[in-house]
């Protein structure tokens, strides 16, 4: 009985150390500019129940996917980087009840918003209205998270939705 308890305790500690090691490895790979490896580590860490309850796991994930979304040569390998980045920072803000890392998460979301607005402008100029609609939507969601109504992003998103043939979304935006 005693040996079973000791084995269980040892296994639990080893699993916790593995999750922490993945988060640390993700952080280090991100700092070194190896964003694909960082993404691999952070996604692996999310399989651990303890890691998903920690604010820093989600903040690091947001930082990693922000770097991926900002890197044209890597971004193509991760087409959902913007969505994962936004989701991660939102989750980090939700978990950070003491608001210890609010400034870092807010800065990350601000950088993501600037990135998607720049992409939306280029897409609009290139007549990729469906892509621009999507990016204006992300920018609007980020503003809404902070209680701000970004009427410019909403209007431009509605216009792009109309040009893209998404009339319901266009009407919702114009409303």
- This prediction's pTM: 0.86
Q: What is the pLDDT of residue 9?
A: 44
Helix (H) or strand (E) holding 75: helix 72-75
What distance in Å separates the CA atoms of residue 138 and residue 102, rounded to the nearest whole number?
Answer: 20
Decide: 41 and 26 in contact? Cβ < 8 Å.
yes
Q: Which of 15-19, 122-126, 134-138 has the lowest mean pLDDT?
A: 15-19
What lies within 8 Å, CB to CB, of 163 at 6+ separation is 129
Q: Which of 18-27, 127-136, 166-175 has the lowest mean pLDDT?
A: 18-27
């Amino acid at each position: 009985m005693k040996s079973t308890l000791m084995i269980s305790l040892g296994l639990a500690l080893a699993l916790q150390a593995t999750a922490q090691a993945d988060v640390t490895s993700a952080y280090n790979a991100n700092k070194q500019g190896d964003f694909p490896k960082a993404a691999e580590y952070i996604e692996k860490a999310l399989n651990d129940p303890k890691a998903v309850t920690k604010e820093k796991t989600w903040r690091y994930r947001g930082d990693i996917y922000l770097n991926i979304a900002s890197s044209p040569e890597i971004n193509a390998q991760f087409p959902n980087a913007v969505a994962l980045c936004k989701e991660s920072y939102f989750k980090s803000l939700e978990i950070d009840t003491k608001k210890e890392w609010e400034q870092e998460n807010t800065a990350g979301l601000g950088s993501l918003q600037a990135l998607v607005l720049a992409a939306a402008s280029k897409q609009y100029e290139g007549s990729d209205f469906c892509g621009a609609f999507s990016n204006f939507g992300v920018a609007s969601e980020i503003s809404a998270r902070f209680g701000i109504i970004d009427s410019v992003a909403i209007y431009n998103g509605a216009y792009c939705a109309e040009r893209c043939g998404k009339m319901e979304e266009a009407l919702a935006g114009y409303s």
